[in-house]
Amino acid sequence: MNVSRLSFGASSLSAVFHAVDESKAIRAVHAALDAGINYFDVAPAYGGTRSETVLGQALKGIARDRYFLSTKVGKYTDPKTYGKDELDYSASRIRRSLLESAERLGTDYFDIIHLHDIEYQNRQHTEWALSEGLDTLYVLKAEGRIGAVGCGIYPLDLWARIFEHYPIDVALVHNHYCLNDTSLLDLLPLAESKGIGIINGSPFGSGLLTDRGPADWHPAVAEERAIFQQAAALCQQHGTSISKLALQFSSQHASIPSTMFSSSNPETVLRNVQWHEEGLDAEMLQRVQMALTPVRNKQWDY
């Protein structure tokens, strides 16, 4: 798949981070398409299926060959009890999940399906996901229902294990190549040797690398959040924003095929595209990374 250097994560289309105007969120998707972004990722767990529903509405009537589309399986959240995850990597649930997502998104084919957050709930379901879960995706690929098999997880040790021992096509790695964490670089040679395409998720550190700061659910404690706030203030003092620096740093690495951001605001989408195309301020980067030294490569307990 010849994906754009920037890709669109649809988690923000629900209320995962803040309240969302649905019509504006749909315009954000259209803005991304018009700006040349051609890969969109979503999951049934985002907003208790709301993100899939809104993305489906936005893509309605758009020629299917204009974009690549992925969703995830294995993690589900009832909208009425959002935040209480159900993890199910059985073949029957994955197949049902695929049909449900296809209905919401208005498609009968997914370019990629990712196993979602297989490390959650203290990894009690990890082996299930890597056996029955992955086997089911291999079968769906052989059936022509999906194009590629992937995973969307966080822990570095689990990524190293998957890269070494499991034949996946793509890896959605989040929060490991951003201003405060460059751990992904250690995994790139292994991924390249296995022919695994990397999707770099969360250039804004799940909200840590923004002026607004992260949502309440983020595991960073108050002292850690304060360090990021100080870095953001440093950028403001020099006439720029930490978000701009973060997006540029994450998206401009030559060996990372695509960096995925999420926004429900069309103006923000276009701003991110513009930032990506501008040169990075190396001096500002050095200052900010120095300020973030106390949290460098910090592994959060998602």
Residues that are catalytic: 46
Count CB atoms within 10 A of the CB of residue 64: 13
What is the rounded CA–CA span in Å between residue 277 and residue 267? Answer: 16
| 3-state SS class at 107 | coil
Count CB atoms within 10 A of the CB of residue 92: 10
Query: What Cα–Cα distance (Å) separates residue 30 from each residue in 60, 113, 200?
Result: 11, 23, 22
Contact yes or no for 54/22 (Cβ under 8 A): yes
| 3-state SS class at 35 | coil
What is the rounded CA–CA span in Å between residue 269 and residue 256? Answer: 20
What is the rounded CA–CA span in Å between residue 27 and residue 277? Answer: 21
Residue 131 DSSP class: I
- Residues facing 181 on adjacent strands: 178
Inter-axis angle of helices 91-105 and 134-142, nearest 10: 60
Cα 16 to chain centroid distance, Å, stands at 13
